A and B are shown apart, each in its own frame.
Chain A
Amino acid sequence: DIQMTQSPSSLSASVGDRVSITCRASQTVSRYLNWYQQKPGKAPKLLIYGASSLQSGVPSRFSGSGSETDFTLTISSLQPEDFATYYCQQSYDTPYTFGQGTKLEIK
């Protein structure tokens, strides 16, 4: 199985900050890397697919980069509604493993 490791596990930031979350795969996943946002009591929501493609309706302050084994999700200017937990997921091969999540909290 491909292991996905996110860092940091938690992050405190302020509205307006630029933040980045990294995700590392234990072997290449090419660009089959997706990012999801989850708020308490809600299902995950797709933000970024194919490492860098923005899902329709997602604000442009979200961006993704990377390939092979190293990936980054960046939020350019945090908004109050962005405080949530973020997960990366590889869809290169089954099982479609997830990272352990990064909880983004208000400082």
Chain B
Amino acid sequence: QVQLVQSGPEVKKPGASVKVSCKAFRYAFSSYYIHWVRQAPGLGLDWMGVINANDGSTTYAQKFQGRVTMTRDTSTSTLYMELTSLRSEDTAIYYCARRRATRELDHWGQGTLVTVSS
């Protein structure tokens, strides 16, 4: 069945960068968009942006513009989300999710906890 498998937890210092991966299994990788959503501890879901796995085009939420970069590697069916200039408020679980043609997010990765602490 369709699966998105994310990389493991990360601990970073303020000012550092983090790159989270999301490997796709058992579907036509280039046919779907992948969205990234984060969730700070005890809070709700926060949409970060989207990448078209076919051509690599991206759209980012305004609040992350300049700090986030989403990329993909079609040879390994892997998506990446890099966030720079980390601050404590970036401590969260980061999820990748597949978007169907009808625009809903039907499969989600298991999440990657990123902790930013000095």
Contacts and interface: CB of A to CB of B under 8 A. Distances in A.
Contacts of B35: 96
A31 to B, nearest CB: 10
Contact of B104 (A1, A49, A97, A100): A49
Contacts of B106: 46, 49, 55
Interface of B: 35, 37, 44-47, 49-50, 59, 61-62, 95, 97, 99-100, 102-106, 108-111
Contacts of A87: 44-45
A95 B111 CA distance: 20
A43 B108 contact: yes
B95 A43 contact: yes
A66 interface: no
Contacts of B108: 43-45
A98 B102 contact: no
Nearest to B103: A91
Interface in A88-103: 89, 91, 94-101
Interface of A: 1, 32, 34, 36, 38, 43-46, 49-50, 53, 55, 87, 89, 91, 94-101
8 closest Cβ pairs, A-B complex: A49-B104, A91-B103, A43-B108, A98-B45, A34-B104, A95-B61, A101-B44, A96-B47
Contacts of B110: 43
B104 to A, nearest CB: 4
B41 to A, nearest CB: 12
B47 A98 contact: yes
27 contacts: A43-B95, A43-B108, A44-B37, A44-B45, A44-B95, A44-B97, A44-B105, A44-B108, A46-B105, A49-B100, A50-B102, A50-B104, A53-B102, A87-B44, A87-B45, A89-B45, A89-B104, A89-B105, A91-B103, A94-B61, A95-B49, A96-B50, A98-B46, A98-B47, A99-B44, A100-B44, A101-B44
A49 B109 CA distance: 19
